[in-house]
Amino acid sequence: MASKSTNEDESYEFVREKIKERPINKKKLLMRTLLTALFALLFGIIACLAFFLMEPIISNWVSPDKETEAVNLPEDKNEKLPEDTLPPENEVADETYLADQPNLNDNNTGSSESLGNSSSLNESDASANPGGDATSANVAEVPDSSTSKPGASETPSDSDPSTGTDSANTATPSEVASPQLSASDYEKLYTELSGIAHEAMKSMVQVTYVTSEFDLFMEGYDKDSIVSGIIVDISDTAIHIFTKRLKTPYDGVPYITFEDGTVTSCEVISSDIQTGTCLLSVPVSELSESALNTINVATLGSSNIGLNSGRPVIAIGSPASSGGFLSFGFITSVNGIIHMMDANYTLITTDIYGSRSASGVLINYSGNVIGFIDNSSNDDDLQNQISAIGITELRRVIDTLQSEKEKSRFGIYGTDITYSLSQSLSLPRGIYVNRFEIGSPAMKSGIKANDIITQIDDTQIHSMMELTNYLMTKKPGDEIVIHLERQVKEEFKSMELNVVLDTQ
């Protein structure tokens, strides 16, 4: 039995043989890897070369090049200055030229003889017309044809053979009559403008706010903040001054410095929170007779009529954060709007460079105030450009401050829907409500953003100015009826809301 088992074990002996793994030839594997990388590199180089060589052929086949047409630029012409086209001084004009210009003889002169007597503005003319147009300062002289020298009308050697006229002496009427301003003329012009500015400065004052502050060691010191103001009224008892109300940590005590250097205390009568302005009062008894003779009431102009970009203006007061400064410039825009509660104000921007804390006024060349300098509404990249709030809207604020009555509050911020907007957008005429003040009478009555106010009580309202003027006739506690249009789906629904005004 045992032998049988032994035989079986020997017959299956081959099953028990151990199969060994074939060892990895690392050297051969490395060679194959390097060979593969080399072939990949060679393939990439060949592909790049093929693309470089074939790309122009393929591009020309896909989009064949078109011959570029040459661009012929006009030849530059020698530009002549206006004075180069005028006849030299004391040179006689061509008789035939003057005879062919009827408009010269008809320009309120009667004959060419009167033109010949025209000359640049002399000293007597300047004194007789100090406020005249600057362009009349130096009128070009037109020679009298009756005094022309013999042979002056003959064609010289350098004349145009096709016309038979002297090309050097040929000039248009506008060129003959164009002014030639010299350095002295500009000096006279700016001297006159400076005189207008200094005359307007008689209605300006410096307002100094003195506030008490403390340093790190809790030692007290006084800090002065200077702004400019304008005199808006002089009565038998008091002088009223309109100026900025500074936002200081403590209630600063203001005092006034007049144009002649007189310094006196003053009293704050009333303030307007929206515009940050106030009205100050100085007793007349505080000023001497000579000081009273050096001050004037400011002449308020208009910021809505005849005001557009390009108009020259003068900034006076504190455009450079200190008093007594003036600067000339031009209006760059009058299209800006400052949205405030229950009122919109015109923003006038200029090209005059000043301080971010500038104050004072803008005046026109007639000396009338057209804007109150305030840079707080400037864009971030125009912080140092002098801007102003239109005086037309501020006039209502001045009237309210002078009356010392409480200002009623409605509480909306709106945009005018003009006639053109109404027609183009199919909207009702009125005031588009952008938003409302939290806790205001408008909010409490149920007015919502996007509503359009068309009427208050029995008065049609088409603009924020009309709304402001109507609210000035009311006092806090009065009840008004607001007529508005509210868009519901695709149509407007008319609504009436009762509003009880409160105080600002």
Tens-of-pLDDT digits for all 504 residues of the chain?
Answer: 555 555 555 555 555 556 666 677 778 888 888 889 888 988 889 988 888 888 778 777 766 655 544 444 444 444 444 444 444 444 444 444 334 444 433 444 333 333 334 333 333 343 434 444 443 333 333 344 344 443 444 444 444 444 444 444 455 554 555 668 888 988 999 899 999 999 999 999 999 887 666 666 666 555 678 889 999 999 999 999 999 987 654 456 788 999 888 999 898 888 898 898 999 999 999 899 889 999 999 999 999 888 889 999 999 988 776 666 889 999 999 989 999 999 999 999 999 998 888 899 999 999 999 999 999 888 888 888 999 999 999 999 999 999 888 889 999 999 999 999 999 988 999 999 999 999 999 999 999 999 999 999 999 999 999 999 999 999 999 999 999 999 988 889 999 999 999 987
Question: What is the C-alpha to C-alpha distance for residues 240 and 234, in angstroms, rounded to an integer?
Answer: 6
Q: What pLDDT score does 368 carry?
A: 95
- Extract the runs of DSSP E, i.e. beta strands, from 108-248: 204-214, 220-234, 238-244
Predicted local confidence at residue 18, as pLDDT = 61
Do 201-293 and 408-503 have matching folds? no
pLDDT on residue 51: 81
For the domain bounded by 408-503, which CATH number is listed? 2.30.42.10
> Between 3.30.70.20, 2.40.10.10, 1.20.210.10, 3.40.50.300, what CATH number should domain 201-293 receive?
2.40.10.10
Query: For the chain, give me the number of helices (H) and strands (E)?
Result: 14, 21
Cβ burial, residue 269 (10 Å; 0-12/13-18/19+): middle
Residue type, 29: L
Domain extent listing, the chain: 201-293, 312-396, 408-503
Contact 139, 177 (CB under 8 A): yes
**Radius of gyration, alpha carbons of the chain:** 42
Model pLDDT, residue 460: 94
Query: d(Cα 226, Cα 205) in Å, to the nearest integer?
Result: 10
The CATH number of 312-396 is which of 3.40.605.10, 2.40.10.10, 3.40.50.720, 2.60.40.10?
Answer: 2.40.10.10
Q: 214 is written with which tokens?
A: 């403390």
Coil/strand/helix, residue 273: coil
Which residues is 149 bridged to in the sheet?
none
Distance between CA atoms of residues 119 and 117, nearest Å: 6
The token duo for 465 is 């100015």
Query: Closest Cα to residue 448, out of 430, 434, 429?
Result: 434
Positive/negative CA dihedral, 347, 267, 314, 123 = positive
Single out the residue of 301, 308, 351 nearest to residue 329, CA to CA.
351
Q: Is 363 exposed, middle or buried (0-12, 13-18, 19+ CB in 10 A)?
A: buried
What gap in Å lies between CA 85 and CA 145, rounded to an integer? 19
**pLDDT at residue 298, as a whole number:** 95
Q: Is the dihedral of CA 432, 434, 439, 444 positive or negative?
A: positive
Q: Assess contact for 462 and 491: CB atoms under 8 A.
A: no
**pLDDT value, residue 16:** 58
Alpha-carbon torsion 305, 310, 313, 317, what sign? Answer: positive
Residues whose CB falls within 8 Å of the CB of residue 261, separated by 6 or more in sequence, listed in order: none
Whole-prediction pTM: 0.62
Q: Return the number of other C-beta atoms located less than 10 Å from residue 285's C-beta.
A: 9
